[in-house]
Every structure is written in structure tokens, then in C-alpha cells.
Structure 1
Amino acid sequence: MLDANSLRSANTPPRGGTVLGPASSRGLDPAKAAVVVPYHELRLVKEELREFDEQTQLDVREFRHRIAEAERELSGLLRSTAEFRKEVDDAEAKWHKHQDYKKVLMDAVQAALDSTKPSEPMEHAPHELLTDCFEKLHRLQNDMLEEDRKRKAFDCAQTAFSKSNALAEDISELKEVKARSMTQLQSFLELRAQQRHGKLKNAFAQLLPMSPLDLNCFLNEI
């Protein structure tokens, strides 16, 4: 049998027990200070808490494993597709740049033609400007043909862009899985902390004759 006030006393506990006191520090009547608690009851509480904590740790490891798996897959996917995703972005940017440049040249040719008087023959149009524009258009056309050839070799362009979209979806999904798992882990830890406190409160409520207020104060101290 144990003295229930022995757990927090600075004095040497009585033989065969531990002191939970002093009672006056918790606002208890000194006459009720000596409360005998069976040792095996305390061991049962300790064992129940041990099993509870072990299960909590198992669940936490599972959550962390899930987070680590998502992080590993995400890192691997980003690393293995970095070059491909850059090529897709560069090819798309270059195509748009060529289209814009072609439009500028065509507008320049049209402006040069429009600047000639209707009564003047075509050969009187600004010759140097037209020549320069046509040369640039020719070079641009060659560049675009070369890019087109590369796109077809690369292209599977449709396949490549489809793959790029699929990769973007996979990356987004893995990020969501990781974030969701981290949120679930945090919520789980908060819930288990509340449940553990509840178990302690229920156990001591059965073992110790305290008012609810005294019991809460006691649990906050241990």
C-alpha cells in the first residue's frame, strides 16, 4: 500500500510507499493528507500510459514515414525531370519569340509597301528596307524550319507537352499529400496529448479523493 502524498515530497518516503504531498501546497486539508493508494493500482496506470505512448509513437512513425515517402518521391521527380521541364519551357518561349519577331518583320514590309505612292512602280519602294526585311524573314524562316525539325525530333511535341502537364499534376499532387500528412500529424499529436491527459485525470480521480479543482492543479504540476 502507498501513501498518496509521497510522489512530490522532498522528505524520505515512508517504507513501502511514496508521498504525493505536501497536501497544504495543493490547498488540501492536512487531516486528509495521508491517502493510501495501492501500489499495484499505480503500476496499472503506469502500464496503461506506457502502452498508450507506445501506440502514439507507432502512429507518429507511420505519419512521418508517409511524409518522408512523399518528400522522397517529390524530390526524385523534380530532380529527374528538371532537364526535360527546362527544355519544354525553353522551346515554348523560343517559339513565341519567333512568332513575335516574324510579325514585326511582316509589319515592317507592309509599312514599306504602304509608304510608296500608288502612281510609283513597285521598284521605287524603299529598296534597302525591303531587302533587309526580306533577308531577315528568310533567316527567320530558316531558323523556324530548324526549330520545327528539332520540335519534331523532340516532339513528340504533343506527347512532350502532355507529359509535361502530367508531371505538373504529379508534382502538385505529391506536394498536397505531403502538406496534408503534416497537418494530420500535428492534429493527431494534439489529440493524443488531450487523450493522455484525460487518462491521467480519470485514473487519479479514482485513486485520490480530490475535488476537480485540486485534481486539475495536481495534474498541471506533474
Structure 2
Amino acid sequence: MINKFVATPDQALADVRDGATVMIGGFGTAGLPNELVEALLRQGARELTVVNNNAGNGDTGLAALLAAGRVRKIICSFPRQADSHHFDRLYRAGQIELELVPQGNLAERIRAAGAGIGAFFTPTGHGTDLAKGRETRVINGRHYVLEYPLAADFALIKAERGDRWGNLSYRMTARNFGPIMAAAATTAIASVHEVVELGEMDPEAIVTPGIYIQRVVQIPRASTLAGGVKS
């Protein structure tokens, strides 16, 4: 019987090795799988390459992973926000490497890895420092830059509902990079708030099919936070 549920986040993250590339879903804090990131922090892997839209917010989640000195390189689109002080400190001290990727290119590079696309041309970034050293081409009179897929050893994503096969649905903007990261990683680990039986999910509502998911962990929904927003 196929059952991809794992009892705890710590068990789900136990085999992450030093030097692994880890994709972490989330757009800022929306859809960030904090419980999985906290488990990664406890697990102890070092010299990680992290792929995320941002570079950590405040002092928890991805920011805590950075603060602990566990990330060698981060690949992201928005490394600086008002509360990205841990990344700022590390970058200014030369203790972390940054690969800055325009957001659309980041999403397409991840999607390309999951789709088996070898490379693609995009106009985004042409004529900027981000295109230096890259192959360029003029197609139909427009300048393009060659970009390569971005794959990972692990993807940590947050979903709303899931079954034991790993079929997932998401809550509004928490979806963001989750589906494409799941497809682009060798091992995709999802946290879910609600567990459902096989067949309870409308097939049309399944965003990430279970074929892309290797492990699922149920995380009880936290109590309502200030302002009436649930985590």
C-alpha cells in the first residue's frame, strides 16, 4: 500500500546531506513551510544551496537557517527586505554567496527542470549585469539570454490538503512556487494541514499530483493569529 505520510518533520528531513541543494517554497512568508525548515535546522546539514524567492524574513524559518551559518549559497529574486537583516549581515561579511535571478526567470528555470527542458531563451535580463558571460541571441529582432534549468536534491513545500498518495491542493497564494519545486526536486517533502482519504479530493482541484511527492507530514493548523489570519 502506498503511504507517503511520515510521522514528524524531523523524520522527513533526516537524510538531507551536507552540500545539498534545497528548494523552499514561499513568497515572503506566504506558503513558507516553517515547520520543515525548522526540522532542517535541527537536522544539522551544512553548506546548503537554498533556492527561494526571498532570503529570509525576521528571525524564524529560512532566516534562522541563514543565521545559523548553514547556507553556503542562496539563489533568489528578492534578497533584501526591511527584515532581511541576517542575509544582509552575512552577505556584507562575505559569508554567503548570492545568485540573483529575476523572478520570472527563477520560476521558469525551476519549471524547466521539472519538465525536462534542457535550456531556454528569455529576454529578461538582457543588457544588464545579470546577462554578463551568458550566451545571447537575436530572435525575430529581439535580444534573448540563454538560461538553464534549476533542479534540487530536496524541495520543502507547504500545502493545505493531502492524501496518502501525496496528491496536494493549496490555500490561495500559499501555492506560489510549490508545484514547480515539487516537480524539479529529487525528493519533494510537503507539509499539509488537512489529511483526506483517497478519492475525497476532486481530481480537478489537485494541483500537485502525488507522482511528484515523496513524503508528506501533517502539521496541525495553528490557532488564529493577530488580525484574524490563520497560518
**Interval containing the TM-score (normalised by the shorter chain):** under 0.3
Which has the higher relative contact order, 1 or 2, with Cα contacts under 8 A spaced 6 or more apart?
1
Q: TM-score, normalised by structure 2?
A: 0.19
Q: Quick check: which has more Rg, 1 or 2? A: 1
Relative to its length, the structure with more strand (as a share) is: 2
Q: TM-score, normalised by structure 1?
A: 0.20
